[in-house]
Amino acid sequence: MNRIALHALLGAILKSIMLSSSFGQLANENSMMSYGGWNDGAGSCLFRDYQSIGVNPANLGIYAEDGVTKVNLGFFDSYGLFYSDALPKSQVLSSLFGRNPLSAEEQESIARLFLETGNSYTAEIVPVSLSVQFPKFGGLGFKWRERFSGSTIFTTPLADIVFNGISSDYIDTIIIDVIGNQIGLVDENTNVADLFNGSQVKFNWLREYNLSFGRSVFGNKALSLFAGGSVKFLQSNATADITFDSDSVSGFAAFSSLFDINYANITDPNVQLAGRLTPVGSGMGFDLGATLAVSEKLFAAISVTDIGAIKYTGNLVTVTDALQDSLVNYIGINAATIFSDIDQLFNAQGLFQYLPASEKKVALPTMLHIGGGLHLTKQLDLAADLIQPFNKAPGNLEKTYLAALVGFSPSKNVKISAGFKGGGLTDFDIPAGVSFSLFPYQIWQFSIGTGDIISWVKQDRPTVSITLSLLRFHFE
């Protein structure tokens, strides 16, 4: 009954908002999405409505004081980026999803290139986004995000074993056990861990339910200060953070049953989950932000995102200080991807030895955003951001990020955005996108963009990225 009553109440509130909105009002250029990258773009000043959630919640309070309630609703906005110097554009999509098996020569070449820069990947699916901005009161927002991210850096020996398994050059002897399985032996005089020092594997799948609020704190048209905050309810379906350092390997991993990770002889209750999507961890997080506006033209902003932690208690294992005791019972993978073959890397027949663990608390990938923006005309906006990671949590940037954005609206129903961003493991990329608002009353909006437009026209670029927002609706 309580759940039914809650659904009825939420439905009534949303309906009243829609009915009180003036559908005769046309959407303007400021209501459309901007593309300067995703949450790592130049958005701390210029992202508005629900697009500011996860970047700077203070901007929910910034909108025209025309006495009209504004509602923005989006379904299944999505973003994906994969970066690796080892994978030129001609091979990325096919090998990423295992459609184009790699030859032995290609496996060896890619394995060696992993040593130079590693690879990073991030993806988001946003099933529901909602912002409601009330005159004088401020803006409320909700966003449900599925966040996937990670990075891998392999030394030449580890990359060779990952791709070639027991056929690796670093396997000294191959024996056959009593049931016919092939097992590779590293030379007994070799320090196995020393071969892999400097390597790391990070992966994170985080589900976020974000409630945000932003409003004007004080000011007038000459000078205004906006502040906002978010509270996030978090669940995790997978995480891994494994590092090879100082002649040892350490870390932890937790995967939901969806990944079919076989932990073999580990029978601890904490590594036995019932449902395939049962979370392995949960927690809370917070965002804080502030934006200063001068004459509604010049903006300065600061925000800190992902303050908090996740506690992992399900399917949690720690990686012991050994790599299968110099034994490699592992055949290697046949696609340059951690996605389709992740179970091969982490199950009991993979590379690592495990011990069960009761719980592990992991910080969220906290980031600082500092930005500036300039609203030159109704048609033209400029912005720049510096994004600094605060920790090395799974899913965080590797180092300082820089981003810039130019937004141009040649008409009320078209907005073109472009900029640059770079740092972490990537070179500087050129994100770009275009948004349209359509009749009736320009309510329906859709957008398409990319994190690096050059990668789609130049074959040797190491980045592949796409952003889609096909079901966005604006009411005022």
User: What are the extents of the domains in the chain?
Assistant: 22-475
> Pairing state of beta strands 316-319 and 70-84?
unpaired
Question: Can you point out the beta strands (E) in 189-323?
Answer: 200-219, 223-245, 248-255, 281-294, 298-312, 316-319
Lowest mean pLDDT among 78-92, 308-322, 349-363, 440-454: 78-92
CA distances 396 to 306, 326, 424, Å, are 10, 32, 9
Q: What confidence score (pLDDT) does residue 341 get?
A: 55
Closest CA to 466 of 379, 452, 454: 452
3-state secondary structure of 100: coil
State what percent of residues in the chain have pLDDT above 70.
Answer: 67
Q: How far apart are CA 385 and CA 401, in angstroms?
A: 8
DSSP single-letter state for residue 324 = G
Contact 435, 33 (CB under 8 A): yes
pLDDT at 46 over 90: no
Go through 197-206 and write b for each residue having 16 or more CB atoms within 10 A of its CB, e for each that does not: bebbbbbbbb
Q: In terms of pLDDT, which residue wins out, 221 or 363? A: 363
Q: How far apart are CA 426 and CA 411, in angstroms?
A: 34
Q: How buried is residue 440: exposed, middle or buried, by Cβ count under 10 Å (0-12/13-18/19+)?
A: exposed
ω before 101 within 30° of 0 (cis)?
no
Lowest mean pLDDT among 24-38, 286-300, 448-462: 24-38
Could you tell me the pTM of the whole model? 0.79
The dotted CATH code for 22-475 is: 2.40.160
- Please, where are the H alpha helices in 265-372? 342-346
Helix (H) or strand (E) holding 142: strand 138-153
Lowest mean pLDDT among 20-34, 263-277, 321-335: 20-34
Per-residue confidence band for 70, with pLDDT thresholds at 50, 70 and 90: confident
Interhelix angle 104-117/156-164, rounded to 10 degrees, is: 150
Per-residue confidence band for 167, with pLDDT thresholds at 50, 70 and 90: confident
pLDDT at 108 over 50: yes
Of the ranges 83-92, 105-114, 188-197, 230-239, the best mean pLDDT one: 230-239
pLDDT at 235 over 80: yes
> Pairing state of beta strands 248-255 and 316-319?
antiparallel
pLDDT at 202 over 70: yes
Per-residue confidence band for 104, with pLDDT thresholds at 50, 70 and 90: low
